[in-house]
Structure 1
Amino acid sequence: MFWLVAIAVSLVVTLAVCWPLLRTDGLMRSAGLSLVALGILLSLLLYREVGTPSGIGVDGRPVAGSANANHSPDQVEMDQLLQQLVQRLEANPDDLDGWLILGRSYKTMQRYEESLEALANAFRLAPENPLVIVEYAEARMFASGNPQIGSEELLLLQRAVDADPQSQKGLWLLGIAAAQAGQNNEAISYWSRLLEQMESDSAAAVAIKEQIGLLQGQASVTPTPASWDGFDIIVDAPEQQFEAAPGSVLFVIARRPGGGGPPLGVRRIENPRFPVQLQLTDSDSMMPQVPISSVQTVELLARLSMTGQPVPSEGDIESAVKQRAITDSKAVTLGLLID
């Protein structure tokens, strides 16, 4: 969460400085966009060199019920700057760049409903612009809370990539959609086109190559047990009479040891009542061609999301991570760590 806030603060502050350039055309607008990117990069590089989250009391695990969780000085300043941008857009609702900037800022801050509203305005102004189409489709995905890419979002992404075959985010998301549908060759094709545009040794390229390797190597993946019954899981809250807030969602997650890459599987339970008992099986896998049981060992954890969103955010309550072999038939208890 810290890095998301850091990026968002850097973005909004830099935009406030560069706004006059962004409102112009041609070379000056390009210079303004370059300064925005450079400002964010320099801010994060400076932080990496001179500071750490532990230096300001952030331990990496959200604290539930903190009265000051959403009122830090940085958060207040960021909200004020965003509000200034909102006021500019109220006065000039046909400002395409403004809506794009606002929507991306909200998306970075995990304020997905507001991001969707802003990017819907951008889509209204430029429904044939491939960049706008991809951002709008992604905002719809995040706002839905569904890890699966829906049919309407898929059509939007295909339209964007047809208009701009070099759209990197469009190619990436189309590859994910194809992989989720079990269309491995199509996913590999999209991601291979994406790789052609990237430095071969960049971190992003390495990650994409790993995903392609997973799809290409399905035949060599650990065979799925013929009669794997899944994991019997109990998610409990240590406090008696604990009740989840209305609208909260419990996510029970299976992932590879170390937490690298996307989850292997997720179960989503709305408005849970504790203790929650469930069976996590291959039907909960994120991608059918990479089922939970395709690996020998998994990590299991539970997260109670107060916003209902799958992406972790401040105020969520998590359990400790437990590691289990696929062949281990013992029930697993995941206790939420409530401060």
Structure 2
Amino acid sequence: MTLLWVAFGLLLVLALWLLVSPLRGARTLHAAQQDFEANDRTADQNVAIFRRRLASLEAALARGEIDQARFDEDRLDLERSLLEDTEATQRRPLKSPLSGRLAVPLVMVAVVIASVLWYQQQGAEGDLRLFTVQQEVRNNPERSLPMMIERLEQEAARQPDNPNVWSSLYPLYRDSGQGDEAIDALERLIELEGRHPALLGELAQIRFFVANRTLTDEVQALVDETLDKDPRQPLVLGMLGIHAFDEGRYEQAIEHWRRAIAGFDDPGSARALREGIAVAQRRLGVASDELETAQSRGPGIQVRVSLDAELRGLLDDDATVFVVARDMEGELPPLAVARTTLSELPLTVTLDDSHAMSDAARLSQVEEARLMVRVSTSGQATPQAGDLFGDRQGVAVGDTDGEPIDVVIDRVVE
């Protein structure tokens, strides 16, 4: 923290120097301006020009080139022009180079006060202090979990409105078996951050375990609120799977865990759930090869692809057919891709996570998908003119044992 304030001090000194620097050259600038105005001969030059033009007019009048009325009119224009030119050269007296100096200290004090107040309101001094405390404990040879908790509790008392303090305390309480303290820390974090599904899922889970894996009314209320905001919240689905497993409802446990796997970015958590599914499958007497297939697939879509009768014969039977599922917004890569040939149609295919092109985009991550079927004239995945095309919007992702979704190839790509 000392280095931070030293850096701030240096920046303020630089800012104050920039404020004061114009005053240092004020006297020199004042003398230069005064000398310029004292030696300015613009008015004399304007008078000389007026006299030359007036003499020219008088000569023209004497020669009879102009009459008296024209002479009077042109003389009036010259006099008016002279007045305008000489008026522009009149300047107000220069102020003293010392004027305004008293305002500079006031501005400097205002800059310092405003900078400090702004940083206290908008800066991250609390986060920096939190990071310093964590580093001090980690670098301490006698470091321990109770020591870290004690230091963070001191920070929580010092800055109770910093959500990062409570988000750091919560996992420490949880991992050390202090369930009630973990709940208090998480509830305080929710007060500060809002009732986000991820935080509500954490709270429901910790309350569930504190209650000896019991789905109490309070836990159920949190589950309902969380799933209403995010039906695929993995922590809540994993917890519901545990509760169903404890009660011997193995099929429901498997269903909850499969849905939870799709929402976990942590490979370790997904692996633990797959192990739980394996145990539940064994309790149900499912063979290991069937278990592996079920785990790899998860929720999906069963699609029945057919070709419109009017388009038959346009392409060869060995033309490649791509069956693709995409998210409704079109923001992700293809979620599932299956490939066949035109001669195989009509065909029923099941799209699921086993058809994913990458782990970052899987069919189980969405609730609805857009189905697109394309017969490629080139055999390439990139659409080209002459390809045959069909699609279906808003198809629900879920159980693949029901009636398949019909997609008819009925258009030609222009």
Which structure's residues are more often helix, by fraction? Answer: 2
Under a length normalisation based on structure 2, what TM-score does the superposition of the two structures give? Answer: 0.32
Which structure has the greater CA radius of gyration?
2
